[in-house]
Amino acid sequence: MSRLTGRARARALAGLYAALGIANSAAAANRFRTGEWATKPLLMPVLTAFALVAAGDRKQDVRLPAAGMVLSGLGDTALLGSESWFVPGMGAFAAAHACYIAALARDGAARGVRPRVAACYAAAWAVLIAVLWRGLGSLRVPVAAYSLLLVAMAVLASGRNREAAAGGALFVVSDALIACGLAGVNAVPRQESAVMPTYVAAQFLLAAGFLRSQRGTAEP
């Protein structure tokens, strides 16, 4: 009964996360600041709760990812503030990626990484930084360093399982769109509107990936 209750709670939290993600994405697309403030700070706490509840007796295994989600929540809130909070927010996300990397390394994700995938990520990072370098101004070094850490996380996630791989890839897409905006580059139409949907999906997929015991094998 308790296991069923735990699953029901996890499903409810996943549904709440999806609802908050949709609401926040709509608010961000329409630049509705009140809506953003009402929803964005809640995203990661809800996802953290989902991960811990869904883990059941394996909470120890998701503590590092959960710490990353908490740090992501701090980053989310910081990025809602003034421009002076951008670098601290980026620092919070960098710390979050460090937690994800540590968890992925602990779980042996590096063994599943394909050299071709790692090479593609490295090439994409180099091209992106080269294209945006001039437009990033004083943010050149912070963005380059942060994005390198992000790409390292995505590469490791690609060796974990399909959910984690997709989450890492979407995280790269989301943050690449932010970087394009910072550099004044319009990579795709309405790129600002795509940032939150890809980010929300990325975080959930990473959480789902961490909740699987090994590559391609679902938790029983």
Helix or strand run (H / E) with residue 207: helix 191-210
* Structural domain that includes position 70: 2-210
> Does the residue 216 lie in any domain?
no
> Does the residue 16 lie in any domain?
yes
Decide which of 3 and 20 is more confident: 20
Q: How would you classify residue 190: left for phi > 0, otherwise alpha for psi between -120 and 50, otherwise beta?
A: left
Backbone angles phi, psi at 217, to 5 degrees: -120, 120
> Does the residue 215 lie in any domain?
no
* Inter-residue contact 167 to 209 (CB < 8 Å): yes
pTM of the predicted model, to two decimals?
0.92
- Is the pLDDT at 164 greater than 70, yes or no? yes
> Does the residue 113 lie in any domain?
yes
Q: Residue 70's pLDDT band (boundaries 50, 70, 90)?
A: very high
Closest CA to 166 of 106, 120, 105, 207: 207
Percent of the chain scoring above 70 in pLDDT:
95
> Does the residue 135 lie in any domain?
yes
> Does the residue 218 lie in any domain?
no
Helix or strand run (H / E) with residue 61: none
CA distances from 134 to 125, 182, 186 (A): 15, 11, 15
The total of structural domains in the chain comes to 1
How large is the average pLDDT for residues 144-157? Answer: 98
- Is the pLDDT at 218 greater than 60, yes or no? no
Scan for tokens 């943010």, then name that residue.
Answer: 139
> Does the residue 204 lie in any domain?
yes
> Does the residue 104 lie in any domain?
yes
